[in-house]
Chain A
Amino acid sequence: MKNRILIVDDSFYMRTMLKNMLTDAGYEVVGEAANGQQALEMATATRPDLITLDVILPDNTGLDVLKGIRQEQPEVKVVMCSAVGQEVIVNEALESGATAYIVKPFSEEKVLEIVGAALQDASSDQA
């Protein structure tokens, strides 16, 4: 079965690019959220295997969303998307349960590598 992914990013451009990369690689993108509230709602509604989560979002910070999702779905893998210079937030995110992080601007290979590895974790955990 295809792994199901939810994309959270406030930029339509970023979402489109991620969606294309992931879909081309054979993942199923189950939803796209543009802000924290949408992200929480869609995470509940779609129960994805993995979420790509932008660090800066309009309403909440990405961190609040991460904590919200973690409470409800401890098993979901979360890959933080950040930019250079946000190491502090990224560290806090990893401490709060993020699985991995990608630094923008990212290449297709990098995204697939990190997403693939994060999901690998998932299957080995379950095994």
Chain B
Amino acid sequence: MKSREQEYREIFMAEALEYYDAMSRHISELERNPGDEPALNELFRLMHNLKSNARAMGYNPIGEVAHHMETIFGLIRDKEKTFTGSVVPVLFGGIDTIGEMIRAVGENEDLPEVRRLLDNLDRLVKGEEPNLEDEEEDDDEDVSRKLELSDLVYIQVRKLDHLMNLVGELIIDRDRILTLSKEIGSQALTTAAAHLSRIADELQYSVMDARLVGVGSLFSKFPRVVRDVATAEQKDVELTMTGEDIQIDRNILQIITDALLHLVRNAIGHGLETPAERVAAGKPAQGHLLLSAQAERDDVLVRVQDDGRGINVESVRRKAVERGLVSAAAAAGLPDDAVRAFLFEPGFSMAKEVTEISGRGVGLDVVKLAIDSLGGQLRVSSVLGEGTTFTLVLPTSIAVKGALLFELENRNYAIPLMHTDSVVSLLPEDFHVVGGLLLTRIQDENVPVVALRRLLHNGDGPLPPAVKADLSGRQDIIIVNYNNRRLGLIVDRFLRQQDIVVKPMSKPLDTIDLFGGVTLLGSGQVCLVLDVPALTRLFLAKRP
């Protein structure tokens, strides 16, 4: 049982962080339009609530700062002051400080900037100039701060996680009972099983639905980030956001937070040019950044799009060769899309120099890993001189995935549909062997093909050269796609397409990274879920 004190504390924290987010948003609105009365009223109201709540909790330093901030917003609202000049940085800084104080509640609340802030607020009330000299030093820290999502949607996410796990178990049992009822052939049992199945489906849908939040709850943090990064990089950026209402699992949003932050910083730091460069290139001085979300079947597409200088494919191609990622001859023949995919290779950074904003040790490879861990995809498209678009293809929900089931050596395996391009059945004459590699033509592209059996059981050495004579009869092949690379996997037999509940592997199997998890089938059989990114990497490392 939670104590009431603890409950109050959690509610206070959740609400205070919400207020902080909303205040960050409204103050950016106010900066764009200093006459924005609704924004000003909201700032006043939220600051007022924060003050009251903090005082009720006995968090007096927060109450004190909020009180002084409220006073200034009150003066602006009553037209006794204007939101201009030195008032602007003091209030922006004040909201940041409040955010830090909320997160540090119960710890050492005596932050040095608090005293300076209170002093400056005091000066503003008296009509004196605030003391801003140290602001510059703090900028680095402000810009690199972490974004955090609230852990409470008035219900703790872990409770929803637990619920989701239970539903996962239920779905597995449901499939089992459905299978049994078919085997036994009793009419009454079949009817009951069908009913159970419908209820379980509905329950699963409801629990998944309860976990969904609007993408806007993450997007809403970006106006402030964009402003800060643009200021530090001396860029002029206009941010547009669309699709804030698109729903996605809260944990997915949490996992992509850093990735999105990185992409946005990158876009401003490297993608967009300075106003002078833009004018010289015949573009409007103000750069444009679009953050959008869009639902597409079961996926959510999140895009970060800039109208900056674009990616120079030739320079990526050159660098990939320099780094030894590809031979010069092979690089010359690669299509542009495949070349851009090198940007996601570990340690491949295109920035000539490491700037303050983007050079924080996180490369696009880390973004890629985060998206991979969700079973999503990261794509990039770019036109030199016109801009770059990064697209995150994300599942709406983590727990249940569409998968293709197949059989290999009398065992069942699953492969997520997210990474499956197509399935084909080919005769031996449809293949040719080049340099020990089995190839087939799919939609005018040569796609390497490998027997999955070989890939899984080959041990440490490289794969033996492919021999066409090994193939007899029709071959069932799954074409998977990862990072714009297609690969054909020969399996024994396709089974069916099915929604599966992926469970993490238990120890010590969790060290085998070729499998993303396990799932239980209706028959009670355990079925391994293949990790396509890991398989693709293994193939590239071992190809003959």
A interface residues (Cβ-Cβ under 8 A, vs B)? 10-14, 16-17, 20, 56-58, 83, 104-106
Q: Is the CB of A14 within 8 A of B51?
A: no
Tell me if A105 and B52 are in contact (CB < 8 A). yes
Shortest Cβ distance from residue A95 to the other chain B in the assembled complex, whole angstroms? 21
> Known: A58-B42, A104-B56, A105-B56. Is A14-B4 also a contact (CB below 8 A)?
no
Q: B51 contacts A83, CB within 8 Å?
A: yes
Interface pair A20/B4, CB less than 8 Å apart: yes
| Distance to closest chain A CB from B65 (angstroms) | 15
Least distance between B543 CB and chain A CB atoms (Å): 58
What string of 1s and 0s marks CB contacts (under 8 Å) between B1-38 and chain A?
Answer: 00010011001100100000000000000000000000
- B288: chain A residues at CB < 8 Å are none
Subset of 8 A-B contacts with CB under 8 Å: A10-B45, A13-B53, A56-B44, A58-B42, A83-B51, A104-B56, A105-B56, A106-B56
Are A17 and B8 touching (Cβ within 8 A)? Answer: yes
Give the number of chain B interface residues (Cβ < 8 Å): 17
Question: Inside 8 A of A10's CB, which chain B residues have their CB?
Answer: 45, 49
Residues from chain A with Cβ under 8 Å of B45 in the complex: 10, 56-58
Given contacts A20-B4, A58-B42, contact A14 B53 (CB under 8 A): yes
Q: Are A13 and B42 touching (Cβ within 8 A)?
A: no
Chain A residues within an 8 Å CB radius of B52:
11, 14, 83, 104-105
A13 B154 Cβ-Cβ under 8 A: no
Is B55 in contact with chain A by the CB < 8 A criterion? Answer: yes
Chain A residues with Cβ under 8 A from B4's Cβ? 20
User: For residues 45 through 83 of chain B, which have their beta carbon under 8 Å from a beta carbon of chain A?
Assistant: 45, 48-49, 51-53, 55-56
A9 to chain B: closest residue by CB:
B49
Tell which of B42, B44, B53, B154 touches A11, judged by Cβ atoms closer than 8 Å: B53
The 8 A CB mask of B244-273 against A (1 = contact, 0 = none) is 000000000000000000000000000000
Instruction: Tell me how far the C-beta of B345 lies from the nearest C-beta in chain A, rounded to whole angstroms.
Output: 47
Can you add 15 more A-B contacts, CB < 8 Å, to A13-B8, A20-B4?
Answer: A11-B49, A13-B53, A14-B52, A14-B53, A16-B7, A17-B8, A17-B56, A56-B44, A56-B48, A56-B49, A58-B45, A83-B48, A83-B51, A104-B52, A105-B52
Q: Are A13 and B51 in contact (CB under 8 A)?
A: no
- What residues of B have a CB within 8 angstroms of the CB of A13 in the complex? 8, 11-12, 15, 53, 56
**Given A58-B45, A83-B51: A16 and B8 within 8 A (CB)?**
yes
Centre residue among A10, A11, A13 by max chain B CB count within 10 A: A13
Nearest CB to that of A83 among chain B residues? Answer: B52
> In the complex, which residues of chain B have a beta carbon less than 8 angstroms from the beta carbon of A16?
7-8, 11
Q: How far is the CB of A108 from chain B (nearest CB, A)?
A: 11
Which residues of chain B in 434-455 are interfacial with respect to chain A, using CB atoms and an 8 Å cutoff? none
**A104 with B55: in contact, given A13-B12, A83-B48 (CB under 8 Å)?**
yes
B41 to chain A, nearest CB (A): 8
CB distance from B13 to the nearest CB of A (A): 9
Q: What is the bound-complex CA distance between A121 and B49, given in angstroms?
A: 30
Contacts of B55 in A (CB 8 A): 104-105
Task: Return the chain A residue nearest B51 by Cβ.
Answer: A83
- Which residue from chain A places its CB closest to the CB of B44 in the assembled complex? A56
CB-based nearest B residue for A55: B48
Nearest Cβ in chain A — how far from B364, in angstroms? Answer: 39
Shortest beta-carbon distance from A89 to chain B in Å: 12
Q: Which one of A12, A56, A105, A106 lies within 8 Å of B11 (CB-CB)?
A: A12
Instruction: Give Cα A105–Cα B49 distance, bound, in whole angstroms.
Output: 11
Contact check, A12 vs B56: say whether CB atoms are below 8 A apart.
no
Of the candidates B45, B48, B51, the one having the most CB atoms from chain A within 10 angstroms of its own CB is B48
Contacts of B8 in A (CB 8 A): 13, 16-17
Q: Which residue of B lies closest to A86 (CB)?
A: B48
| Closest-CB distance, B153 to chain A (whole angstroms) | 12
Could you say which of A11, A12, A58 has the most chain B C-beta atoms within 10 Å of its C-beta?
A11
- Most chain A CB within a 10 A radius of its CB, from B8, B48, B52: B52
- Expressed in whole angstroms, the Cα–Cα distance for A20 and B7 within the complex equals 11
State how many angstroms separate the Cβ of B297 from the closest Cβ of chain A.
36
Q: Which residues of B contact A14 (CB under 8 A)?
A: 49, 52-53, 56
In the assembled complex, the CB of A67 is this many whole angstroms from the nearest CB of chain B, namely: 19
Closest to B41 in A: A58
Q: Are B48 and A12 in contact (CB under 8 A)?
A: no
Shortest Cβ distance from residue B383 to the other chain A in the assembled complex, whole angstroms: 44
Find residues 154-213 in chain B having any chain A CB closer than 8 Å to their own CB. Answer: 154
What residues of chain B lie closer than 8 Å to A104, measured between beta carbons? 52, 55-56
List A contacts of B12 (CB < 8 A). 13
Q: How far is the CA of A106 from the CA of B8 in the complex (A)?
A: 15
Query: What residues of chain A lie closer than 8 Å to B15, measured between beta carbons?
Result: 11-13
Q: What residues of A have a CB within 8 angstroms of the CB of B42 in the complex?
A: 58
| Cα A115 to Cα B48 with chains together (Å) | 23
Return chain B residues, CB-CB under 8 Å to A83: 48, 51-52
Residues of chain A contacted by B51 (CB below 8 angstroms):
83
